Structure formats: C-alpha cells, structure tokens
C-alpha cells in the first residue's frame, strides 16, 4: 500500500496543514468562548432586544450547516461588501476563523446557559443575602460552578470544532484535510494518505481529551480531600 512512501512524502505537507488546523482551532475556540459567553448573557438578559439577538443568532447558526456558513462568509459576504467597498477580500484563514468561531459560539452559548441554569438557586440567594451585587454573584459564585458543570459538554464542543476545521477545505483553507486531498489527488495513494490523515486527527483529539481530563480533575472540588 506504499505506506512508507506516503509517510515520507506526505508528512511535510500534512504537518503544514496541521499547523493551520491547530491555529484555526485554538483561535476559533477562544473567540467562540467569548461569543458564547456574551450570547449566553444576552439570552438571560432583562432586555428583550438582547434576548432577541441571542435567540436569532443561535437559531441561524444551528439551523444551517457549517458548510453553507463557510460558503456565505467566504464567497457571499465579500461580494456584498464589494458593492460599497470595491476590492474587499477575505482570506480563507480569516473567513475560516469567522465561520468556526461563530459556529462554536452558538453551541457554547447553549452549553453555558445549561450550566448556569444548573447552579442551584440557593447559591444565588446566599450570595445576594450577603450583599453581593449581581455581577459579583455571577463571576464569583455562578460562573465557577457553571463551568464545572459544563466542562464535559464544552470539551465535546471543542472536539467537534477541531474536526469541523476539515469542512473549511471547501473554501480552500490549506488545513490538514485539504493538504491530504491535494497529496492524494496527485499521488493516487488514497488509502495510505487518508488513513494517515485519520491518524493525525485521532492524535490531536486524543491530546485534547487528555488535557480535558486534567482540567476536569482540577475543577472537581467534590472529590478533592
């Protein structure tokens, strides 16, 4: 099956792709967390307009495939912007990060909301009865407990986000899957290349899961003695 040939020839190419995949994943997850937190807060706001923004955003993202979102962000929106700002272009990396963070943000918003509503009401009442204003109650009492509750679902979302980077090959983003496709197409070594590609993803996700396990342990104050 020419595994050796694939290993030696495809590796430099795949490593290049791996760098992009990791970069896009890390940046998008970080931005996604911020978007998710803001949208989650919007969703629980007293103001109807903010709740509306959050609901519309989550509805839009959850209601469309990421592939379509990527096409809209990379091809659709720049064309529209060009009407007012001729010559405007978006690099595939920027478009990829925008798509992936918007996507992760919507799901994370829902995960955070679930975590926050799972914190017992008595915790809030105890904090408020001490005189803590709502903001302090939120950041000191609710959020730490909500994050702990949400960690398993968050990790799940991170894994999905890392894997979803491969969808971004449709907008020509030179990430891991794209590089593999290019190599397989030119060498005709489909089995070897794509198997190796799968191994790459397995390794990244496994490392992510190990980190997650460590973090989860750190947060697990209920088992600490």
> Cα–Cα distance between 168 and 193 in angstroms, integer?
19
Going by C-beta distance under 8 Å and a sequence separation of 6 or more, which residues neighbour residue 179? Answer: 13, 14, 16, 17
- Which of 19, 140, 213, 217 binds other proteins (CB under 8 A)? It is 140
- Which of 46, 86, 120, 188 binds other proteins (CB under 8 A)? It is 120
Instruction: Quote the least distance from Cβ 29 to other proteins, whole Å.
Output: 23
Should residue 225 be labelled a site residue for other proteins when binding is judged by CB under 8 A? Answer: yes
Instruction: Quote the least distance from Cβ 118 to other proteins, whole Å.
Output: 12
Per DSSP, helices labelled H in the chain are 3-43, 48-62, 66-71, 77-84, 92-117, 121-129, 134-136, 143-164, 176-187, 190-219
- Which of 5, 19, 136, 217 binds other proteins (CB under 8 A)? It is 136
Q: How many residues does the chain have?
A: 225
- Which of 125, 160, 209, 214 binds other proteins (CB under 8 A)? It is 125
- Which of 20, 24, 66, 148 binds other proteins (CB under 8 A)? It is 148
Pull the structure tokens for residue 17: 């792709």
The residue among 11, 23, 5 whose CA lies nearest residue 179 is 11
Q: Which is nearer to other proteins, 140 or 217 (CB)?
A: 140
The stretch among 16-24, 97-105, 129-137, 161-169 that binds other proteins (CB under 8 A) is: 129-137
Q: What is the DSSP string of 9-54?
A: HHHHHHHHHHHHHHHHHHHHHHHHHHHHHHHHHHHT-S-HHHHHHH
Should residue 5 be labelled a site residue for other proteins when binding is judged by CB under 8 A? Answer: no
- Which of 63, 86, 87, 133 binds other proteins (CB under 8 A)? It is 133
Residues that bind other proteins (CB under 8 A): 120, 122-123, 125-133, 136, 140-141, 144-145, 148, 221-222, 224-225
């Amino acid at each position: 099956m020419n595994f050796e040939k694939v290993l030696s020839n495809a590796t430099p190419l795949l490593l290049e792709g791996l760098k992009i995949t990791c970069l896009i994943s890390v940046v998008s997850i970080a931005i996604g967390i911020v978007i998710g937190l803001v949208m989650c807060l919007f969703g629980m706001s007293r103001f109807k307009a903010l709740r509306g923004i959050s609901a519309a955003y989550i509805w839009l993202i959850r209601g469309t495939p990421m592939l379509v979102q990527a096409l809209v962000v990379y091809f659709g929106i720049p064309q529209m912007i060009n009407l007012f700002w001729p010559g405007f272009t978006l690099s595939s990396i920027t478009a990829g990060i925008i798509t992936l963070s918007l996507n992760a943000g919507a799901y994370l918003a829902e995960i955070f909301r679930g975590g926050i509503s799972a914190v017992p009401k008595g915790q809030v009442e105890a904090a408020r009865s001490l005189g803590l204003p709502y903001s302090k109650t939120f950041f000191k009492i609710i959020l730490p407990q909500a994050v702990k509750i949400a960690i398993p679902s968050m990790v799940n979302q991170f894994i999905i986000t890392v894997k979803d980077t491969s969808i971004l090959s449709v907008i020509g983003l030179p990430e891991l899957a794209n590089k593999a496709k290019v190599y397989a197409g030119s060498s005709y070594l489909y089995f070897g290349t794509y198997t190796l590609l799968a191994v790459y993803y397995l390794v990244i996700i496994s490392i992510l899961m190990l980190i997650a396990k460590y973090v989860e342990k750190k947060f697990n104050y209920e088992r600490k003695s």
